[in-house]
């Protein structure tokens, strides 16, 4: 199987779906002539022309709303946010319009639209450019939230998202675009709402998504050297959440650590911890633990930034604590 980059997998998903469905178009800042700020849309303007690949001015509220209106009229837009940090000026469009029009109209209008772009911290981008937004979006009924962890998932999930009939928040790890992974030649889809066991184990479950799956897998490799077998569960879709997969894993291992890059208060991990506590109460051998980003805006300084993001050593330490193996 060919090894391709995360950005190339996303590009393939968009190109393939646009080839099969003329209703799909891409718009966003620098997606066309510049080939994308992160080169995800490289070559797409040349392939599809300016009718279907549109550079927008820096007006997220405006073009997010245009996407929603176009979806109401039956098109299937892809709206790229250069980063999810810039989505807040369009928050009204996502929350007040995209998430609610279907219900307010009693199903007369559906909104097949994908909002996508990079999220999470990168390196030394400071507070306004280093945020995880999934907890904010997943809070809103009417939206689906998808966060792939590798190129294979990225392609299969984005293709499914582009065939779904709901507004979708698709968040790509900002420092994952160069990640390589195997992606098959032929077409495949990964259904939304179905998680994936990224590594099997029996002593403890780590629930992680997007970039944090890499931290979880690296920690699992470290811990395996000491005979600790970690199961890594990636929900892949935050909403709808594959609760059954998480519950079945934790029921087996009896311990759970949730790793998320975002802030702890009202984080996605808080919701998952609640569901585990409710469903696995009798199976738990330790309290559910969370490893999250620090509860503060992201600092610029490199050393301080590193202390604000979950890392492999901290994940290893958290697992040992849950297994009562601390020194």
Partner 1 sequence: MSAIEREVMEPHEKTRSVEKAQLLEYYRQMLAIRRMEEALAKAYSLRKFGGFLHLAIGQEAVAVGSIAALKPEDYAFATYREHAHAYAKGMSARSIIAELFGKRTGCSMGLGGSMHLFDAPRNFMGGYGIVGGHIPLAAGTAFASKYRGDGRVTLCYFGDGSVAQGAFHEALTLAALWKLPVVFICENNQYSMGTPLHRSMSVLDVSQKALGYGMARDRFDGDDVVKVRDRMAEAIRRARSESLPTLVEVVTYRFRGHSMSDAGLYRTKEEVDEWKKRDPITVGRGLLEKASVAESEVLAIEEGVKREIEDAVKFADESGELTFEELEQFTYKE
- Residue 24 or 183: the one with the smaller Cβ distance to partner 1 is 24
Q: Which of 17, 60, 134, 261 is catalytic?
A: 60
56 is a site residue for partner 1 (CB under 8 A): yes
**Interface residue with partner 1, options 89, 189, 194, 270 (CB under 8 A):** 89
- Residue 105 or 266: the one with the smaller Cβ distance to partner 1 is 105
H or E element that contains 239? strand 237-239
Judged by DSSP in three states, 204 sits in: strand
**Interface residue with partner 1, options 32, 120, 142, 148 (CB under 8 A):** 142
194 is a site residue for partner 1 (CB under 8 A): no
Judging by DSSP bridges, how do beta strands 113-119 and 167-173 pair with one another? Answer: parallel
45 is a site residue for partner 1 (CB under 8 A): no
230 is a site residue for partner 1 (CB under 8 A): no
Beta-carbon-side half-sphere exposure of residue 254 (alpha carbons within 13 Å): 9
User: How many residues contact partner 1, by CB under 8 A?
Assistant: 41
28 is a site residue for partner 1 (CB under 8 A): no
Distances (CA, A) of 160 to 13, 123, 188, 211: 9, 30, 9, 20
Distances (CA, A) of 109 to 131, 161, 164: 32, 18, 14
Q: Are 300 and 129 in contact (CB under 8 A)?
A: no
**Interface residue with partner 1, options 45, 72, 318, 319 (CB under 8 A):** 72
87 is a site residue for partner 1 (CB under 8 A): no
Q: Alpha helix (H) ranges present in 174-242?
A: 211-224
Residue 302 among the catalytic residues: no
Which one of the spans 62-70, 129-137, 275-283, 313-321 is the region binding partner 1 (CB under 8 A)? Answer: 62-70
């Amino acid at each position: 199987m060919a090894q391709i980059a995360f950005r190339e997998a996303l590009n393939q998903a968009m190109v393939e779906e646009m080839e099969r469905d003329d209703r799909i178009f891409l718009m966003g800042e620098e997606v066309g002539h510049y080939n994308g700020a992160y080169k995800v849309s490289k070559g797409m303007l040349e392939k599809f022309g300016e009718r279907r690949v549109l550079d927008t001015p820096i007006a997220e509220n405006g073009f997010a709303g245009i996407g929603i209106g176009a979806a109401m009229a039956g098109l299937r837009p892809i709206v790229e946010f250069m980063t999810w940090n810039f989505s807040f000026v369009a928050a009204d469009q996502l929350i007040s319009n995209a998430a609610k029009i279907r219900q307010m109209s009693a199903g007369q209008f559906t909104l097949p639209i994908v909002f996508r772009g990079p999220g999470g911290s990168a390196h030394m981008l400071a507070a306004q450019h280093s945020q995880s937004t999934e907890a904010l979006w997943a809070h809103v009924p009417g939206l689906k939230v998808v966060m792939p962890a590798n190129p294979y998932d990225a392609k299969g999930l984005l293709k499914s998202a582009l065939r779904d009939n709901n507004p979708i928040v698709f968040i790509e790890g900002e420092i994952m675009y160069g990640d390589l992974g195997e992606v098959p030649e032929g077409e495949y889809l990964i259904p939304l709402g179905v998680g994936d066991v990224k590594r099997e184990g029996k002593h403890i479950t780590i629930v992680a998504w997007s970039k944090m799956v890499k931290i979880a897998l690296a920690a699992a490799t470290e811990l395996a050297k000491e005979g600790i077998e970690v199961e890594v569960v990636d929900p892949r879709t935050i909403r709808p959440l594959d609760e059954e997969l998480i519950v079945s894993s934790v029921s087996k291992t009896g311990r759970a650590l949730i790793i998320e890059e975002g802030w702890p208060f009202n984080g996605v991990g808080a919701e998952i911890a609640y569901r585990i506590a409710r469903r696995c109460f009798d199976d738990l051998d330790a309290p559910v633990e969370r490893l999250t980003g620090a509860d503060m805006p992201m600092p610029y300084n490199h050393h301080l930034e590193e202390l604000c993001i979950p890392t492999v050593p901290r994940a290893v330490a958290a697992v040992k604590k849950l297994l009562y193996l601390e020194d």
